[in-house]
Amino acid sequence: MATDSAIEWTDATWNPVTGCSKISPGCKFCYAERLTERFGRGNFTDVTLRPDRLGLPMRWRAPRMIFVNSMSDLFHERVPFDFIDEVFAVMARSSHHVFQVLTKRPDRLVAWHRSQGSGASLPPHVWVGVSVESAPYVWRIDRLRQVDVAVRFISAEPLLGPLPALDLTGIAWLISGGESGGTASRALVERSGDGRWAPRASAVEWVRDLRDQCCAAGVAFFHKQWGGPRPTSGGRNIDGREWSEYPQLADLSR
């Protein structure tokens, strides 16, 4: 289904695929898994294609920024390339929207992109990003650079460690964020030393460093949240300012 979203950097979500499996430390307390369990929507590890949802963006007349597959990973190993082709065909025909595609599986992204033929470029209103939660996963950015797309972005959320000296060549946007999770998801949240349930913390200096790297490289920077029991618990300010920048390569009417 497609719904209005409370995620700060998008307007709506569209999930032509649901379900996923964990691939790196950032997945440990996956919010999509928490929502699936909380609302009894079945087994989260059942990756399910939803062809009945493919046409939804074309029914939305007002332009929106749409996060694709907020409840899954479009490039999961159990999503066939033929279905990914259909998803991208819908996006191509819905050029009044901006689509944000985020993956932790950039190797499969690159393989799919190469299957489209040499020199194939994605439509400029389709943005593609990778999640990078800590330094061991910076390699995902290198894979992303192999895809011909106007806007490449990084989601450093949940930020679990410093990301010093990033190569931001070819990157238009970086989103940072801490981890959130409350008592309703206690089975998926780490127990802290003082006996309270709490999400893993992001250090202020890690986020400041990302902001400074983006400013120096001319990359749009968006700090989504500090994290806590709820997404809004820690607010969004860095040194008294909210950072809500977007790439300048599209008219977002903001």
Q: In whole angstroms, what is the distance from residue 18 CA to residue 85 CA?
A: 17
Task: List the alpha helices (DSSP H) in 41-196.
Answer: 56-59, 81-93, 106-115, 139-144
Q: Domains along the chain?
A: 2-242 (3.80.30)
In the prediction, which pLDDT does 196 show? 56
Q: Which two tokens stand for residue 162?
A: 């410093």
Q: What is the pTM of this model?
A: 0.91
* Distance between CA atoms of residues 237 and 240, nearest Å: 5
Task: Give me the residue label for tokens 């990778």.
Answer: 130
Task: List the beta bridge partners of residue 191.
Answer: 197
Q: What is the pLDDT of residue 184?
A: 41
Q: Cα(first)–Cα(last) distance of the chain, in Å?
A: 25
Distance of CA 29 to the CA centre of its chain: 15
Contact yes or no for 248/220 (Cβ under 8 A): yes
Burial category of 212 from C-beta neighbours within 10 Å (exposed 0-12, middle 13-18, buried 19 and up): exposed
Residue the block writes with tokens 């949802």: 53
Q: Which two tokens stand for residue 237?
A: 């300010």
Q: How many CB atoms lie within 10 A of CB 240?
A: 5
Query: Distance between CA atoms of 53 and 71, rounded to whole angstroms?
Result: 13
pLDDT in tens, the chain (254 residues): 457 888 999 999 999 999 999 999 999 888 888 888 777 777 999 999 999 999 999 999 999 999 999 999 999 999 999 999 999 999 999 999 999 999 999 999 999 999 998 768 999 999 999 999 999 999 999 999 999 999 999 999 999 999 999 999 999 999 999 998 654 445 544 434 455 556 788 999 999 999 999 999 999 999 999 987 777 778 899 999 999 999 985 544 43
Strand blocks (E) in the chain: 2-4, 12-14, 17-18, 48-49, 65-68, 98-103, 126-131, 152-156, 173-177, 220-225, 237-238, 241-242
**Facing residues of 130 across strands?**
103, 154
- pLDDT at site 252: 43
- 90: amino acid identity, one letter: V
